[in-house]
């Protein structure tokens, strides 16, 4: 899976976290592992321009998605095995997201994670124009985000245990093959 990210926003953002959550969502949504995704982080002025040009709405927004190929999550049962494809582009505006994060009382990193999941779901054909669609999309968005955080917690826990085990083995005088 190829995920390219370009930070043109002028803000310091944990790009690896954005790639990680995008990769997680794409995998969970059963998208072909060779799929490609492009993420661009822009400033408010650039996002306002895109928002007006593509949505005919004034001012910046938090995230916009530009799908490339028509995909369905899980694929159609009668379709041939899907091949790799370009999902499209997700454009994020970290400065706008920072304002939203402050209002919501959480971190910018969390807000950008939410927006990344939201953007990927849009690329996969989800929408929230109708109440039923909104319920489905936001329910799935929240579920995927919680699963990702749980995976991060599990990995951190395993890393702590491994570090503790390594420290205990060192104190007990066991031979460490990595130390020569």
Residue 40: in which H helix or E strand, if any? strand 36-41
**Could you read off the pLDDT of 2-14 as tens digits, one per residue?**
999 999 999 999 9
Does residue 32 have a known ligand-binding role? no
Q: What is the pLDDT of residue 84?
A: 59
3-state class percentages of the chain: helix first, strand second, coil last, to nearest 5: 50, 15, 35
What tokens were used for 126?
A: 């989800």
Set out the domains of the chain in order of their start, with CATH numbers.
1-67+83-170 (3.40.390.30)
User: Which is nearest to 13 in space by CA: 125, 105, 97?
Assistant: 97
> Do the annotations mark residue 110 as ligand-binding?
no
Is 122 annotated to bind a ligand? Reply is: yes
**pLDDT tens profile 14-65:** 999 999 999 999 999 999 888 999 999 999 999 999 999 999 999 999 999 9
Start-to-end CA distance of the chain, whole Å, equals: 37
Q: Is the pLDDT of residue 130 over 60?
A: yes
pLDDT at 69: 54
**CA-wise closest residue to 25 among 125, 118, 137:** 118
Average pLDDT, the chain: 89
Question: Do 8 and 41 contact (CB within 8 A), yes or no?
Answer: yes
């Amino acid at each position: 899976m190829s995920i390219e990210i370009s930070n043109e926003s002028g803000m310091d953002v944990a790009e690896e976290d954005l790639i990680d959550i995008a990769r997680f969502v794409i995998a969970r949504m059963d998208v072909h592992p060779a799929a490609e995704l492009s993420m661009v982080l822009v400033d408010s002025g650039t996002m306002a321009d895109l928002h007006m040009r593509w949505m005919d709405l004034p001012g910046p927004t938090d995230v916009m998605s530009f799908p490339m190929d028509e995909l369905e999550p899980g694929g159609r049962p009668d379709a041939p095995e899907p091949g790799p494809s370009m999902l499209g582009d997700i454009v994020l505006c970290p400065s706008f997201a920072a304002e939203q994060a402050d209002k919501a009382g959480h971190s910018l990193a969390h807000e950008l994670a939410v927006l990344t999941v939201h953007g990927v779901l849009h690329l996969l054909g989800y929408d929230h124009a109708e109440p039923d669609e909104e319920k489905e999309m936001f329910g799935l968005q929240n579920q995927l985000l919680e699963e990702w955080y749980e995976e991060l917690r599990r990995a951190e826990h395993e890393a702590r245990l491994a570090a503790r085990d390594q420290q205990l083995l060192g104190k007990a005088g066991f031979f460490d093959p990595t130390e020569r």
